[in-house]
Structure 1
């Protein structure tokens, strides 16, 4: 099975944060994504990144978070390592 693409994590991030009350730490969000979707991740997803010791999928989640902020679905300027859904992000999570 091939590595999961970064954009595939968008709905997973939104749902995880929504279920965590709309705001959570990066680690709590990653744990929730793993609980919800971990069985769907490929062996390749679990391989360590080339530049970091974390699994590839966790690195892709962090990169997708950046795009969610850019697209207005996560709040800009949240405290470090705290991810917060915007109102648009909450609405999108409810549709997912």
Structure 2
């Protein structure tokens, strides 16, 4: 593994840890609002542990940079059929973060009457976020040239919404469905 592989791996890990902390913050806030203080404390402890881990990863990343390790001379591996090729990661902060898609997804579902096919939801989300999406969001994914980055990120945001209870986890394949908690969040955002 050479430096071209290591730094993107650090960046990818840091980005994922940021997303986890954001999710835990939302979950903790939701529990505090519901006056579920014991569960909220558990989430806070988890968030603090993730933040401590993230600080360790950041220190390791800085240490790696200081080491200035030269590239290892490996013979290139042949790609196996169906094997994913790792490419250079997009630098952090260039694309619209997954969290930015959460409220527009919920709003689109409310507009659609509570549920909708993925394509319908994403088309509405794109119209709502037109001013926010940038050139990096409209690039295709290196791992799947047929998929735009923003659509993939919106899919990850949808997963976070399901995990947080804002979308139904048992809706039919290809259909996204808002939950009562999701509707309440949309109403709260309007106020």
Is the shorter-chain TM-score for this pair beyond 0.5, marking a shared fold? Answer: yes
TM-score by length of 2: 0.48
SS in 1 for 2:171: coil
Superimposed CA distance per residue, residues 39-77 of structure 1 (whole angstroms, 9 cap, x where no aligned partner): 320000000012221110000000111111111000011
Compute the TM-score of the two structures, normalised by the length of structure 1: 0.93
Distance 2:98 2:123 in 1: 17
Runs of 5+ consecutive residues of structure 2 not aligned to the other structure = 1-92
Higher relative contact order (Cα pairs below 8 Å, separated by 6+ residues)? 1
Q: Which has the higher helix share?
A: 2
For residue 77 of structure 1, give the secondary structure of its aligned residue in structure 2: coil
Cα RMSD between the aligned structures? Answer: 1.3
Match 1:87 to one of 167, 170, 180: 180
Instruction: Give 3-state SS (helix, strand or coil) of 2:176's partner.
Output: strand
The answer to whether structure 1 residue 61 and structure 2 residue 149 are counterparts is: no
Q: Name the structure 1 match of 2:129.
A: 37
Corresponding residue for residue 27 of structure 1: 119
Cα contact 2:96–2:132 (8 A) shared by 1? no
Higher-Rg structure is 2
Which residues of structure 1 form unaligned runs of 5+?
none
TM-superposed deviation, 1:12: 1.1
Distance 1:88 1:33 in 2: 19
Structure 2 Cα separation of the partners of residues 68 and 50 of structure 1: 25
Q: CA deviation at 1:24?
A: 0.4
Runs of 4+ in 1 over 4 A off after TM superposition: none
